Amino acid sequence: MSDNEPFNPMRAAQANMRDPEVKRFYKEVSVAEVESGFALRLDGRGARTPGKRPLVAPTRAIAELIAAEWAAQGDVIEPAEMPATRLANSALDGVAGALAETRKEIVRYAGSDLVCYRAEDPAELIALQAEAHDPVLDWAAEALGARFVTGQGVMFITQPPAAIEAFEAAVRRHQGAFALAALHSLTSLSGSALIALMVARGALAPEQAWRAAHVDEDFQISKWGEDDEAVERRRARWREFEAAAKIAVAL
């Protein structure tokens, strides 16, 4: 990370998750209610994050989601197949100690949000962007009182300070490490803090949000096709997005 790059608590926590191959060392997976929430149990023993913190979720629904990933593992544990666990680790090892920084990073995304930048041509893409992104801006205006402006091309758009302030106030309603970790993940994976907040508020289904975030990419694919590696990368990112959405709405 360069000196000028914004602090990213999610990335900092995930840097500790790149462990060598680990064989499955447990048989039974369960969830137990504890004083601070709902803990993952492996053969009756409490599981821990890479940072050695107890793996405890704030709700049973989230803990069950994590437990299902551990139960589904084969002979070798595959972290890439455990997006909810990875997000929980990020929340506990990274975001919990950097709540203000994480909130600031989400608001920073809103200042250059994907849905505010529109193509200059062709007309077909312009129409697709309007169909997918205008409802997001309408929701922000109506639900948050945040009126963002749009522009064509790649030149930076300075958003009205009142819009950023209203969005920041909305983000402050999302308290706690898991809530902010989920919102940050939704934001970074979609490129849109506004889409992410809609998903977290239950105002937009994850599948619809994912399509809205990939209008430009899907348009290019329709014209030029896609390669297998790109398909797999997108599939992996979708799994992370879906897990973040499930955690966000379970809070």
Helix (H, G, I), strand (E, B) or coil at 24: coil
Q: Which residues pair with 70 in a beta bridge?
A: none
d(CA 166, CA 35): 35
pLDDT for the residue 88: 98
CB atoms within 10 A of CB 22: 11
Q: What is the mean pLDDT of residues 45-67?
A: 98
pLDDT in tens, 152-187: 998 999 999 999 999 999 999 999 999 999 999 999
Q: What is the DSSP letter of 6?
A: P
What is the DSSP code string of 156-196? --PPPHHHHHHHHHHHHTS-SHHHHHHHHHHHHHHT-HHHH
Confidence of residue 137 (pLDDT cuts 50, 70, 90): very high
Contact between 136 and 37 under an 8 Å Cβ cutoff? The reply is no
Q: Which amino acid is at 159?
A: Q
Q: Which amino acid is at 36?
A: S
pLDDT in tens, 71-105: 999 999 999 999 999 999 999 999 999 999 999 99
Please provide the size of the chain in residues.
251
pLDDT for the residue 199: 98
Q: Which residues contact 30 (CB under 8 A, 6 or more apart)?
A: 41, 44, 67
Percentage of the residues of the chain whose pLDDT score is greater than 90: 90
φ/ψ bin of 202: left (φ > 0), alpha (ψ from -120 to 50), beta (otherwise): left
Map out the domains of the chain with their CATH numbers: 9-97 (3.30.2180.10), 99-249 (1.10.3580.10)
Q: pTM of the prediction?
A: 0.92
